[in-house]
Structure 1
Amino acid sequence: MLIQKMNRQIIFGLVTVALLLTSCNVGATPAPTLDVNAINTAIVGTTIAQLSVQFTQTALAAPTNTPAPTNTAVSLPTFALPTTEGLPTTSGALPTVSFNTTPLPGFTQVASTVVPGATVALGDECNNNAFEGDVTIPDGTVMLPGEDFTKTWAIRNTGTCTWDDGYSLVFVAGDRALDPYNYKIKNKKDFIAPGEAVNISIDLTAPLEVGKYEAHFRMMNDKGYYFGTLLSVYIEVKKKK
Structure 2
Amino acid sequence: MEFTGKSVIITGAGKGIGRATARLLAERGAQVVAISRTGADLDSLAAETGSRSVVADLADPAAARRAMADAGTCDFLVNCAGTNVLESLLEMTDAGYETVMGINLRTALICAQEFARARVAAGGGGAIVNVTSIAGHRGFADHVCYAASKAGLEGATRVMARELGPHGIRVTALAPTVTMTELAAEAWSDPGKRDPMMARHPLGRFAEAEDVAKSIALLLSPDAAMITGAVLPLDGGFLAV
Query: Normalising by structure 1, what TM-score?
Result: 0.21
Structure having the higher Rg: 1
Write 1 or 2 for the structure with the bigger share of strand.
1
Bigger helix share: 2
